[in-house]
Structures are given as C-alpha cells and as structure tokens.
Structure 1
Amino acid sequence: MASASPSRFRAILVTAFKWILGIGLLSIVGLAVAVAVAVTQLPDYRELTRRSDLGQMIRVRAADGSLLVSMGPSFGRWLPYAEIPQTMRTAMISVEDKRFRSHVGVDPIGMARSVKVRIEEGHWKQGGSTITQQLARNIFLTNSKTFGRKFKEGVLALALESKFSKDQILELYLNRVYFGGGAYGIDAASRTFFGHGADHLSLSEAAIIAGLVKAPSNYSPTADVQAARGRARVVLDQMVQNGFVTADAAARTDPATVRIQPTPKQNSARYFTDWALPQLDTLIEETSEPIDVWTTLDPGMQSAADRAVNAYTPAGAQGALVSIDRDGAVRAMVGGRDYVSSIYNRATQAQRQPGSSWKLFVYLAALESGMKPEDTVVDEPVTIDGWTPRNSTRTYAGSVSLREAFARSINTISAKIGDALGFGTIADMARRFGITANISTYPSMVLGTTDVRLIEMTRAFASVQSGGISVMPYAIRKVVTADGRLLYQHQNSEQRVLVAPWVAAEMTDLLQTAVMSGTGRAAQIGRPVAGKTGTTTSNKDGWFIGFSSGLTTGVWMGRDDAKPIAGLQGGTAPARAFSDFMKIAVAKRPVEQFQTEAPIPDWQLEPDEEAWGSNEVGYEPMVDADGNPVGQGTNPNNFERQAEQPAQVDQQWLDEVLDRNQPSRQVPPPSNRQPATDPRTTQPSDRSTDPLQPRP
C-alpha cells in the first residue's frame, strides 16, 4: 500500500502534464491560426502609410505662409526609414522597446516585469507593450486596459512581425504615433515643436520627441517645456545604457538649449479662419486627404487690427474690424475683443444700424442724379410723411454746399435727397453695392436705420475706392494637398460697373472732405484718406469706414445688448482705431492721391434739348421750386419728383459711355414713382434679385 501512493501521485502528475502540454499545444495551434488569419486581413504596407484613418488634417496658412491654425490631426511628410535620422530611431527604441530588434512582436521579459510591478504596486504602473504592440493598438484597437484587448494586441503584433520587416514596423510607428499638440508622426512633431522637418533632427530634439510618447499631454513642449526637457534627459540616459550614444556625447547634449517653436495664437485670427473655412464646401470637392488652405490674411495687419480694437473699444463694449484690399482680399478681420471668451464674429455675423455711414448710398444716388459736390442746398427743418429729422447739433446751417453737408453729416439734407429721389432709389443703390439686408424704404432709412453687416458696408466703400467697380471679398487664395497637388486657385470674379467713374470720383471727393475737415478728422493718418463716420441713436453704435492706398477698412463698436455707451461716436473711438490700424497697414505702400475727377460724358456737359433728346429715354432734369435744373450750380431748396423717369444705372449704358463692346440687353420699363436719377438709366429701382448678378 505504501508503494502505491507514490505511483498514484506520479500518475496524476503525468496526466496533468499531458493536459497542460495538450492545452499548450492547442493554444499554440490556436494562436498560430489566429495570427495566420490576422496576417491575411492586414492591409498592405502602402495603405498603412496613408494615415486617412486618423482623420483629415486642414492647415490654414496666412498670406506669408505662416501657420494660422491646424484643424484635426497634424501630419508631416512621410519619412521612409532611410531618411529617419539614426538618433531618432535609437532614441525611440531605447525609451520604448530596447529589445525591439530581438523579439517577435511580443516581449515575454517585458510582460513579466510589468506583472511583477503590478503585484508589488497594486496597480498597473508600466506597460509591457512593445513598439509593435503599440503600433497594432494605434492602428486597429482602442486604449482600453482589458485582457481581451491585450490578447488582440498580441495577436496583431505577431501578425505585423510576420508580414513586415523590423525596419518597416519602425517606419510605420515613427510616422504614425501621436506626439501631442495634434501632431502624428515625427515630422509633424518636429515641425510643430521646432519649426523644421524631422529629416535633420539633432540629438537633443530627437530625445525630446522620443520622450513624448509616454504621456503626450504631460510632456508636450507647448504645454510644459520644462517637463519635456526633463523627460529628454531620461531618454538620453537610456540611450547611454543601451550603447547608442557615449556618456560624453550625452553629457555634451543639453535639451534646455533647444528652441521650442511658439504655438500660433488662437485668438483674433480664429474669427477669420472660422469665416473662411466653411467656404471650402463651395470651392473644392469633398476629400479626406490632408490639405493646406492658403488665405489672404496678413499677420502684421491682423496683429495691428487686434491691438487697435482692444486699445480703443470702450469698457463693456465689443469691437470689430475688417480690412479689404483693392482686389477683395481680406487682409485683417477681428470679430470681437477676445475669441476665447466669445467666438461670435461681429464683423461678419452681427447686424447693426450703420448710422450716417449709410449716407454713402444717399449721396451716391444724389451724384448719379446729376448733383455736384459744389451745389448748394438749404439745411432747414423738414417734415416728410410725418417724420421730422433733426441734426445732431440741434441747429440748422442754412445754405450749404453738398460737400459741406456730407462732411458735417447734416441729416436734413439727406432727408431732402431721399424725398426728392425716392427712398426706393437709395435702397436700390445699397443693394447694388452689396447690402443683402431687407432694406426699409421709410423716410428715416436715409439716416441708417437698416441693420447691416460690417463686412458688407466695408465692401461697399471698397467698391467706391475702386472707381465704382464691384469688389467681392474673398479669403482663400488656393488649396493644395500635402504632396503639393493644386485643388483650387482663386480667380477674380466678374467685375461689375456699379456707378459711373465720375460718380465714384465725386463720392471719393466727399469722403475725403469728411476726413479732412468733417466728422472723421480723427481718422487722418498723414496721407490721403477718404471715409465716413456713423453714430446711431443714443450712442448705441459707432462706425468708421474708409480707405487709403488701396486698402479699405471698416470699424464698428458697440454693446452686444445694444445698450447706449456714453461718448461713443463714429468720429471718436472707431475713427481712432481706424487711424492706428491704417498707419501700420499701409506704411509700406506707396502714397496714392485720390482720383476725384473723371471724364464726364457729353450728355452732362451739354444739357440742352438736343443732348437730352439723343438719350431716347424721355429724361427731364430735376428742378428746384424756381424751375432751375439741379446739378448746375443752383440752389435746390425744394426738390420735385418728375413723373415717368427712368430707373437706375444699367451696365449697358455704362458700357456705351466707356466705349466697351457689349451685347445689347432688353430693358425693363421704369417704375412709375421712380425719381430722376440719370439721363440714360434703365434698371428698375425696387428689384428682388441680387444686384451683383448678371441680369437677363
């Protein structure tokens, strides 16, 4: 009996061993099958280099190529293994997987050490994942810490090692791993943190990048530069222990001397990028590949605009600024005092009353009707359909020139012009110059009671600066893929003649006078400036819009809740902000004198019956109470509307005046109530179509 017990025990051991061996063999077979299946399902190498699974990267660049903002993941150039600096490869192996070259994708020693630390510490303190396992997790799995995920990770790692070489795996890893700051891959990390590509990283820079993988958010140089440099020293020590660099070389290397690239400011420029990026939907076909969007924004002007708005906007109020170049390129845009606290873009979204800056359209209509800046009008009490406008001074100046009336922003004169020409005429002029709001035609509309956007008002002034030619604001110059393939290139839109060149010249004359001697004197910058102030009831809004040296800038200030602001007027803070900005914005541009005179057609120079009759439109000039024609140096104290007058300026007539060969158009009949505007005009004043679109 005594001898039977040991025999029984040996039998149990043998049986257990057989079971263990059998289970082990079955596990190996199962694992081999799983790996084999995984190998067949792995994408090919070329597909893994595309990185489209990480999301689309959109880099928005300023006019000088500097990075404004990077949306989504940031990718650099894909570096083949041979182009990756050896210091980068060895730094990553040293700190993440020192047995990378010897294991088969899974490192039993590393796993055993991880389990030992887990038992000693009571929690997972360090992982045992190899570079191959990390690559498998980054591409195919999540970061959940479960045994199921770890098993899948191990299977995929073995499959990757079976299908690809060690060099290929390291290349994939270094080009795909996340390094913080939105950067995926060493080239993106190098460009983000150091400002240059990863193909010529220094030892210190390679150590900083290699140290980021453990905790990108904690060690990112843009988040904590000292932590990043401290972690780099750990990487250098590991490289010495693994024999990749000598102790002397490591000692001579100081990560503290590495210059970290400053991150782009995510403040006022974001107003511009938020406005620009949605336009991509209409410019390019939908794509998931990384793209670079080159914009019109001038970083120097943008900084100057931000400073000007914040320096002059009253406490508790908001400010906005937009600056448009002569071709429509938006050079600066500030939508508020601080983007972080409010992303609402007051330059493109807010609709506020423009006050007297609206008189641009009133006086454009007056000049187009035949009036001249030297013509005299009477500033006196006037009542129109029960409405009695008042001047800001509460006084009346009597007989004044049209130029003085505009420079001093006399309300009664604007009311008289609107009453004489028809308020629909003023509304039509505003639509013609790009105002898309629903414009009121009540008499008070001549004083700027229609809510409008700053960018549209600025565009209108820019069209005057361009000689009456339409200006279309744009933000995107071109769109290219990461490999340089052009997806979009801006082309100037079809230009439309909005008013005759002499009308634009005379309007510029009035605008220049408003700055030289009128309400806009604070906007002077030491070179020719033309512009107009705007102030609304109870000082709720202050505007200044003007142009100089080909650059048109609009400034608005006010409270978002539209409450009054003591002392806010267009000629104070907005005009001063305009001045400060423009002094910097046009400093390197040549001084340009304004074209305030333009050739006038024969029908204006010779206003006799024969000249009028040749127009074939039945024109009868506007006259005052004494029967004298307005626009010939007379005193039009009281305007009279003429019946059956033609409508507003038409492209065909301007083409004829300017000797342009254009096909003829069918002209619609004039409005019954349309006042005298221009002896050869043919377009109805109240139309619902876009004034800048070609008419049939």
Structure 2
Amino acid sequence: MLRLFRLVVLLGVWGGLAFGAALLFFTWDMPRPEEALVATRRPSVTLEATDGRLLSTSGDLYGERVRLADLPAFVPGALMAVEDRRFRSHFGLDPVGLARAAAANWRAGRVVQGGSTLTQQLAKNLFLTPERNMRRKVQEALLALWLESRFTKDQLLEIYLNRVYLGAGAYGVDAAARLYFGVPARRLSLWQAAILAGLPKAPSRYNPRAAPDAAMRRGAEVLDAMAAAALITTTRARQEAELMVLPPRPSGDAGWFADWVQDDLAESFPGTGDLVLRTTLDLKMQAVVEARLGALLAGPGAAAHVTQGAVVVLQASDGAVRAMAGGRDYRQSPFNRATLARRQPGSAFKPFVWLAALERGMDPSSTVSDLPLTLGGWSPGNGRWRARGEISLEDALAHSINTSAVRLLLAAGGAKAVAAVAERMGLHGRFADNASLALGTAEVTLLDLVAAYAPFANGGLRVTPYGIARAESAERVLAVPLTAPTRVISQEHAAEMRRMLAAVVERGTGRAAAVPGQRVGGKTGTTQDSRDAWFVGMSSRWVIGIWLGNDNATPMDDVSGGSLPARLFRDILEETAR
C-alpha cells in the first residue's frame, strides 16, 4: 500500500512537472490578452465621390462601434448559424462540434469542416498569427477559455462583430456594410447580413467587390444554414437569395485620380489618423470619360496606331477635377499620363502667345503676316495653308498658322516674355528660350495645360487643380488646404481669347469638336510626325483636355489634334450634357 502511494505521488510530481513544462512550451510567447485587446492598425483613408458614394479605401478601415442591441437580430444570427450554432451553449471549446467535424472530414478523406468556435476564431483573430501548428492551436484554446471567463456571450459577439476582418481592408460589420452596401450595419437587410456572415471563412475569395458571384453564392449558403437552424423559413431563405443584387463596383480606372489626391496627404493632414475624404470626382462623368476613351482606343485609335490617351475634366470656375483618366487601363498601367507625363503640346501652346500679344496692345482684329519666315536658318512651315499676306489674329489662331505664331512671339517680347505669361496662367514646364516656343516645344503635363486654359473660360482667374473638397477625421471636420482663384488677366482679354478660341471650333482646325446647341472653344495641338495629338476645349462650365499618343513616342498614323482628340472632346461633352 505504501509502495502504491509512493508511486502515485511520484507519478503526480512527474506528471505535474511534465504538465508545467508543456504549459510553458505552449504559452511562453503567448500574447497578454489585455494588451492584445488594444487594436493596432494602419490608419485608413476612405475616398468618396462628390455625391458621397464610395470611391476607394486604403489602410485598415473601421466603421462605427456597434452594440448588439442596435443590430437586427439576424446579423448575429446569420453569423452563428454558419460559423457556430452551439455558441450559446459551449464554454469556448465545443467537443461536440469537434467530433462532428472530425467524422465529416474522415468520411470525405479531406478537411471539409472545421470545429473551431466563434470564441476560438476571435482569439485567433485578436491575438495570434495565421500559422497553423499544434502549438498555435493550444494557445488558441487557452485564449478562448480566457475570453469566455472574462466576457459574457453577448460581449464576445459584440467584440467579434466589431473586430472581425471582412475583406478589402474592412474590420467589423459596420465598416463592411458601408464599404460593400453603402449603409450602416444597423440598416443591413437579411440577405446583406448573410453575405457578410459568409466572409470570415475566406474574406478574399468571397469579397463582394472582387468576386460578386462567389459572394452571393456564399450568402445563399448562409441563408440555407439559417433555415436549417430554424432562424428563418426555407421560403424566406429562397426569397432573400433572389433579392441579392450587389451595387456596381466603383470605377477601376479612377485609380489614377485616387492616387493623385493621396499624393500629399501626409503634408496636408499630418497626424490625423483615419481620414474620410469627400473628393471632387463625378462618377457619372468619370464613367463617360473612361468609356469614350476606351472605345476610341479600341476602335479608330487602334487603326491609327494609338495605344494610349489621357483625359482631364476641370471645373473652370475653381479648378475642381471632375474626371481623370491617366491611360487606357489602370490595372495594366497605373502610371498617370495626365499628371506625370511631360510631352510637347504643339499648337495647343499658341493661346499663350496670342495672350501675350493682346497684352502688348493688339486685339483679335489686329493683323499679322502669314508669309514664309526664316530665322537663323530655321523656317517654320505652315502645312497646306496658302499664305494670304496679312490676316487677323483671330484667323491666324483659328487656322493655327505657324509663321504668324512666331511673329507674334517676337512682337510680344520673345520666348522669355511668352514663357512668363504661360507660367502666370499656371502652366509649369520646360520652356525653350527661342522662337520655337511659339510652336509648342515646351514640355508640360495635361493637367497643368488644362488648368492654364481655365482663365480663358472663367473671366481671367487662375485656378489650382484640386481633388479634395472636404476632410473628416474622428467625426471632426478638418480644414482642407485650398488655393483661392486669383486674377491673372483682365476680363477683357479673357473675353477676347474666348472669342478667338471659339473661332478655332467654328471655322478652324477644331471643327470636329463642335457641339450642336453649345458655344464651345478650344485649341488643337499636334507634334512632329504625329507623335502627340492634343485638344483642350472649354464650354461655359468645363475645361476638358485630351492627349493621345504612344508611351514610346512612336508616330501615330496621321492623327492630329483636330481629328481624334477633337472628336473625343465632342463625345464627352455631348454625353455629360444629357
């Protein structure tokens, strides 16, 4: 008997030591739960279109903290039906569920069912890394027991619903509801709740924005699970599945605009944490720009060996960017040809030469020679234009006469004087210090060129292009650093420039840009061998700039600013006016 007692004591001691060693092995690097409950994440940036619709998100997106009592009962119900039906009755671990999953996996010969509880999932999501091994599973179980001892079942559900990752950077049901459906979590419908409840299994695979069909199939499975758990009827499950319609995915190619407006966020809003930014982007106009540019590049553009293009739509009065396409497909090439590519604008630069001439005392009816000209061995050509001798400034701009442009540049004080005028209007570029500047040998971006035309359209005010209209952080409205329009030319000169630019469209090189019923103006631009083709046009409200060409600067087939770019301007303006 004594010997048996000694054996039991010995086994108990060694067993205790073994258990202690095992416990130490499994827990030595386990995180402290109290500390891990404090969330650490990347600040999020949410971009909204001008009408409030979601444009894009980056970082880790959290919505409002929701309380269980504020949510429709089917939100937690859908989650428990598909993830853990015995959640209310187990103690954090579910032996019955583990046994059922093991049997199902044995029959299938592979893993078809998991046995982890919602509490275990919460422990893993809050505290542990994604790696799978026995040590992590034991830690998960221990943390699940700790959570069950610390919180009530309702509190655990609340924590889970507020912290679970649901794809696309969204953490918690409120962030996901706003991201995917445009509503707060308390206003979710049954089928929307079912789609969200299906996401924890595979947030990337069932992401409603990236894989809408898979998301709806998974949502239907959740509805069936709710019917099997007697939370809803089979008929209701079928009816809700038929109601599933995911909103259209936000424009993919608006990524150029999203990248542009986020370039200087750290300087504009330092240390503000999460940001919600209402932008100036008009989704309808953006869709028109993308569709029209894409159709042109796929059709007549492809036939003329045009592989790329860029479009900017600017509100003339204040510089708000309403649409921006930096190429034909953002996913294939995120390089923004509207804001980063510097190309020669050709004759699209000439309005600044004409403005310089007006400021030297000329007017649209003043005359200038269109006869051949030679400067130091350089003779600018006039294409097919037949010289008339003396023509008005209006006609010279309408027909884009090169020799007249050079003469006006010289009369206005030379290249430096004209460059100063262009810079005053907002055009930043590399300006040649010779007479070739009159023909557009500077290197500029499309966005800068469009902004520099705005004073012609708005009565003489220089504008700074901007894309953020309102900023909010932690429900606090932030000051948005904007540059107010400033007068750079007189109203009289602006009106004279509008008159001459209208003549370009009415009877000159830009006739293809004419829009029935609207008075528009603009200027064409074509560089040597048709390497670049431009049209910058304006209506009573917009300035729209278009560039077509190839990234490697190879020539297009007889494409000029007055052909495809002018037609694209007309198409965009006509469709947005409907």
Query: How high is the TM-score relative to the length of structure 2?
Result: 0.90
Residue 691 of structure 1 corresponds to which residue in structure 2? none
- Residue 456 (structure 1) aligned with residue 441 (structure 2): no
For the residues of structure 2 that align with 1:97 and 1:24, how far apart are their CA atoms?
34
Residue 511 of structure 2 corresponds to which residue in structure 1? 521
Partner of residue 440 from structure 1, selected from 412, 416, 432: 432
Residue 309 of structure 1 corresponds to which residue in structure 2? 293
Contact 1:477 1:490 in 2 (8 A): no
Residue 423 of structure 2 corresponds to which residue in structure 1? 431
> Aligned to 2:138, what secondary structure does the other structure show?
helix
Q: 1:513 to 1:37 in 2, by over 3 A?
A: closer
> Aligned to 1:294, what secondary structure does the other structure show?
strand
Q: 1:284 to 1:19 in 2, by over 3 A?
A: same
Residue 121 of structure 2 corresponds to which residue in structure 1? 134
Contact 2:33 2:143 in 1 (8 A): no
Residue 255 of structure 1 corresponds to which residue in structure 2? 241
Partner of residue 575 from structure 1, selected from 559, 562, 566: 566
> Aligned to 2:204, what secondary structure does the other structure show?
helix
Residue 288 of structure 1 corresponds to which residue in structure 2? 273
- Residue 158 (structure 1) aligned with residue 158 (structure 2): no
Q: What is the Cα deviation at residue 171 of structure 1? A: 0.5
For the residues of structure 2 that align with 1:416 and 1:226, how far apart are their CA atoms?
64
Partner of residue 350 from structure 2, selected from 359, 370, 381: 359
Deviations 1:602-652 (A, max 9, x none): xxxxxxxxxxxxxxxxxxxxxxxxxxxxxxxxxxxxxxxxxxxxxxxxxxx
Q: 1:304 to 1:133 in 2, by over 3 A?
A: same
Contact 1:462 1:552 in 2 (8 A): yes
Q: What is the Cα deviation at residue 149 of structure 1? A: 1.0
Matches within 5 A, 1:79-90: 79-90=66-77
For the residues of structure 1 that align with 2:56 and 2:571, how far apart are their CA atoms?
26
For the residues of structure 2 that align with 1:536 and 1:565, how far apart are their CA atoms?
11
What is the one-letter code of the residue matched to 1:350?
Answer: A
Matches within 5 A, 1:330-479: 330-393=321-384, 395-420=386-411, 421-479=413-471
What is the one-letter code of the residue matched to 1:399?
Answer: E
For the residues of structure 2 that align with 1:16 and 1:261, how far apart are their CA atoms?
68
> Aligned to 1:42, what secondary structure does the other structure show?
helix
Partner of residue 56 from structure 1, selected from 24, 43, 52: 43
Residue 260 of structure 2 corresponds to which residue in structure 1? 275
Deviations 1:273-329 (A, max 9, x none): 11111131232113433x211111111211222233233342142111111111110
Q: What is the Cα deviation at residue 112 of structure 1? A: 4.6
Q: What is the Cα deviation at residue 18 of structure 1? A: 6.7
Deviations 1:138-169 (A, max 9, x none): 11111111111112212222222222222111
Q: What is the Cα deviation at residue 124 of structure 1? A: 5.0
For the residues of structure 1 that align with 2:498 and 2:567, how far apart are their CA atoms?
20
Q: 1:131 to 1:365 in 2, by over 3 A?
A: same
For the residues of structure 2 that align with 1:203 and 1:375, how far apart are their CA atoms?
72
Q: 1:141 to 1:443 in 2, by over 3 A?
A: same
Q: 1:92 to 1:408 in 2, by over 3 A?
A: same
What is the one-letter code of the residue matched to 2:333?
Answer: S
Residue 499 of structure 1 corresponds to which residue in structure 2? 489
> Aligned to 1:332, what secondary structure does the other structure show?
strand
Deviates more, 1:271-280 or 1:65-74: 65-74
Q: 1:311 to 1:210 in 2, by over 3 A?
A: closer
Deviations 1:380-438 (A, max 9, x none): 12122322111122632212112111111111111112223222111111121222222
Q: 1:545 to 1:476 in 2, by over 3 A?
A: same
For the residues of structure 1 that align with 2:289 and 2:219, how far apart are their CA atoms?
40
- Residue 266 (structure 1) aligned with residue 252 (structure 2): yes
For the residues of structure 2 that align with 1:437 and 1:226, how far apart are their CA atoms?
48
For the residues of structure 2 that align with 1:24 and 1:236, how far apart are their CA atoms?
48
Residue 557 of structure 2 corresponds to which residue in structure 1? 566
Residue 555 of structure 1 corresponds to which residue in structure 2? 546
Contact 2:457 2:540 in 1 (8 A): no
Matches within 5 A, 1:130-279: 130-242=117-229, 244-245=230-231, 247=233, 253-267=239-253, 269-279=254-264
Residue 327 of structure 1 corresponds to which residue in structure 2? 318
Q: What is the Cα deviation at residue 559 of structure 1? A: 1.3
Residue 82 of structure 2 corresponds to which residue in structure 1? 95
Residue 299 of structure 1 corresponds to which residue in structure 2? 283
Contact 1:39 1:159 in 2 (8 A): no
Identity %: 41
For the residues of structure 2 that align with 1:33 and 1:394, how far apart are their CA atoms?
89
What is the one-letter code of the residue matched to 2:242?
Answer: A
Q: What is the Cα deviation at residue 474 of structure 1? A: 0.7
Q: Extract unaligned runs of 5+ from structure 1.
A: 1-6, 588-696
Residue 543 of structure 1 corresponds to which residue in structure 2? 534
For the residues of structure 2 that align with 1:455 and 1:227, how far apart are their CA atoms?
40
For the residues of structure 1 that align with 2:181 and 2:166, how far apart are their CA atoms?
13
Q: 1:401 to 1:179 in 2, by over 3 A?
A: same
> Aligned to 2:294, what secondary structure does the other structure show?
helix
For the residues of structure 2 that align with 1:560 and 1:456, how far apart are their CA atoms?
19
Q: 1:305 to 1:240 in 2, by over 3 A?
A: closer
Deviations 1:57-94 (A, max 9, x none): 22111111111112233333321121122222222223
Contact 1:384 1:419 in 2 (8 A): no
> Aligned to 1:451, what secondary structure does the other structure show?
coil
Residue 508 of structure 1 corresponds to which residue in structure 2? 498
Q: What is the Cα deviation at residue 253 of structure 1? A: 4.5
Partner of residue 106 from structure 1, selected from 83, 93, 105: 93
For the residues of structure 2 that align with 1:31 and 1:239, how far apart are their CA atoms?
39
> Aligned to 1:218, what secondary structure does the other structure show?
coil
- Residue 42 (structure 1) aligned with residue 34 (structure 2): yes
Q: Extract unaligned runs of 5+ from structure 2.
A: none
Q: What is the Cα deviation at residue 348 of structure 1? A: 0.8
For the residues of structure 1 that align with 2:213 and 2:430, how far apart are their CA atoms?
57
Deviations 1:653-694 (A, max 9, x none): xxxxxxxxxxxxxxxxxxxxxxxxxxxxxxxxxxxxxxxxxx
Q: What is the Cα deviation at residue 542 of structure 1? A: 1.0
Q: 1:383 to 1:186 in 2, by over 3 A?
A: same
Q: 1:444 to 1:388 in 2, by over 3 A?
A: same
Deviations 1:502-538 (A, max 9, x none): 2222222211211111111111113111211111111
Q: 1:564 to 1:191 in 2, by over 3 A?
A: same
Contact 1:204 1:254 in 2 (8 A): yes
For the residues of structure 1 that align with 2:508 and 2:202, how far apart are their CA atoms?
62
For the residues of structure 2 that align with 1:251 and 1:416, how far apart are their CA atoms?
78
> Aligned to 1:219, what secondary structure does the other structure show?
coil
What is the one-letter code of the residue matched to 2:282?
Answer: D
Contact 1:194 1:259 in 2 (8 A): no
Deviates more, 1:76-85 or 1:198-207: 198-207
Deviations 1:245-268 (A, max 9, x none): 26556566442322222321212x
How many aligned residue pairs are there? 569
> Aligned to 1:281, what secondary structure does the other structure show?
helix
For the residues of structure 1 that align with 2:7 and 2:272, how far apart are their CA atoms?
62
For the residues of structure 2 that align with 1:108 and 1:298, how far apart are their CA atoms?
55
What is the one-letter code of the residue matched to 2:91?
Answer: V
What is the one-letter code of the residue matched to 1:517?
Answer: R
Residue 596 of structure 1 corresponds to which residue in structure 2? none
Q: Which has the larger radius of gyration?
A: 1
What is the one-letter code of the residue matched to 1:518?
Answer: G
Contact 2:345 2:443 in 1 (8 A): yes
